[in-house]
Amino acid sequence: MAEYLKQQEIIPQGEKRELRETVSSIIEKVRQEGDGALKEFLRKFDGVDISELKASNDDILKAKKELPVTLLEDISFSIERIQSFAEAQRRTLTEFEQEMIPGVHLGQKVIPIESVGAYVPGGRYPLLSSAQMAIIPAKVAGVSNIRVCTPPTKDGVIHPAVLFAAHQSGADEIFSVGGAQAVAALAYGTESIRPVHKITGPGNRFVTEAKRQVNGVVGIDLLAGPSEVLVLADQTARAEYVASDLLAQSEHDIDAQGILVTTSRELGLAVLAEIEKQLETLPTAEVARASWKRRGQVILAETLEEAIAVTNDLASEHLHVQIEDAYNHLDKFKNYGSLFLGENSTVVYADKVCGTNHILPTNAAAKYTGGVWVGTFLKVVTYQRIEQEGVNQLAPHCVRQSNREGLIGHLRSANIRLTGKLDIESEVVEEVSK
């Protein structure tokens, strides 16, 4: 039976209720007051007074000039990697039409969503990679209008790297709005921000709760955030690698979660010690330490099979497997947002530049969904083309089933195409009812 070497703290239910109520009030204010509410929240939450919410072409050009050449090169490199993978995914989705039985032609169309809202987190760090992850797959899918919302810096402008990365990734409009209020604006629209059909992108607990509350008014990709990582490690793993991987996600947010599941007590204790050691020199230690203290876990399993069962049950956003011959165990892992095999496959490569998407399911949602991909922005829809030969085969079955269900309107719609009459003969009704 698994043993906890470290457990997470319990989040009070009252805290969750307060979050729901706060977000609900923000959404309603944006619905009622539009841009005025957005500007009021910018003053209240971001400490800035902004007259124009939408970034201009001049703003984008200025942002580019402020960025070093190496950063521009990094942005181009990651865009190429993410775009290439999204294009490879897109090629797996195909349209077809097939004559399933004589006279019955059924088909599949793959249609891009018309408008998408991409939320790009700001807060403590400028997450330019999140702009790329939310925008590029949508662009590859063929979305015709992509609207981006991202919080401004304390100077009242969008961080230059985020602004330029969003533009280069294919954003059509970029707005200086963050938090739950940005989600509300994308869902319901304001004077400046037209409503979209689907909202994508990660965020803090307020953004995630807002997406949950507007789901149905618009589509959402998934409830992504705060960040999670689960490292599965055996006695061959290096404590310093594991500790750095856990802290890399913990530094995102005080609500982020790092979990170690291990078959080695010695490694588990070594990682606990190594985390404290690395925190001493980590510039983001204030956030990472709070996150690790609040939500970090170290779970000791008796066998590798039990450890794998634990990881499948927890269904973490990122699953990093640092065990001997990790790739040979690939098919045993069932529930994860994205899987990282071997000690060199650190999550941060996927967070930034390797090409797979980092907008992934959290809170065990990996049990029923994967992360954002090019298919997130496509609708796979069906169509039918039925000739008289097909009517002759389909209609008798449909008439009998409709009659048994008492749906006579259905019966008539099927029968008139078979016999030219609305109703079937009484003796036939008796026969089909048997």
Alpha carbon distance 179, 32 (integer Å): 17
| DSSP H or E run through 249 | helix 239-250
SS3 67: coil
Q: Catalytic pick from 159, 167, 252, 318?
A: 318
Whether 324 is a known active-site residue: answer no
- Interacting residues of 315 by C-beta distance below 8 A, sequence separation 6+: 335, 336, 361, 364, 365, 366, 367
Alpha carbon distance 159, 373 (integer Å): 25
Return the exposure string of 114-148: e unless at least 16 CB atoms fall within 10 Å of the residue's CB, then b: ebbbbbbbbeeebbbbbbbbbbbbbbbbebebbbb
Whether 389 is a known active-site residue: answer no
Supply 396's token pair: 């008798």
Alpha helices (runs of H) in 67-202, residue ranges in sequence order: 69-90, 128-141, 160-169, 179-188
Asked if 89 and 374 count as a contact pair (C-beta separation under 8 A), the reply is: yes
Q: Catalytic pick from 167, 317, 320, 358?
A: 317
Asked if 142 and 93 count as a contact pair (C-beta separation under 8 A), the reply is: no
Supply 81's token pair: 């990697």
Distance of CA 230 to the CA centre of its chain: 18
- Scan for tokens 């066998």, then name that residue: 303
Distance of CA 401 to the CA centre of its chain: 41
Return the exposure string of 241-274: e unless at least 16 CB atoms fall within 10 Å of the residue's CB, then b: bbbbbbbbbbbbbbbbbbbbbbbbeebbebbbeb
- Give the pairing of strands 104-112 and 96-101: antiparallel
Rounded to whole angstroms, what are the CA distances from 91 to 21, 84, 140? 43, 11, 11
- Cite the active site residues: 317-318
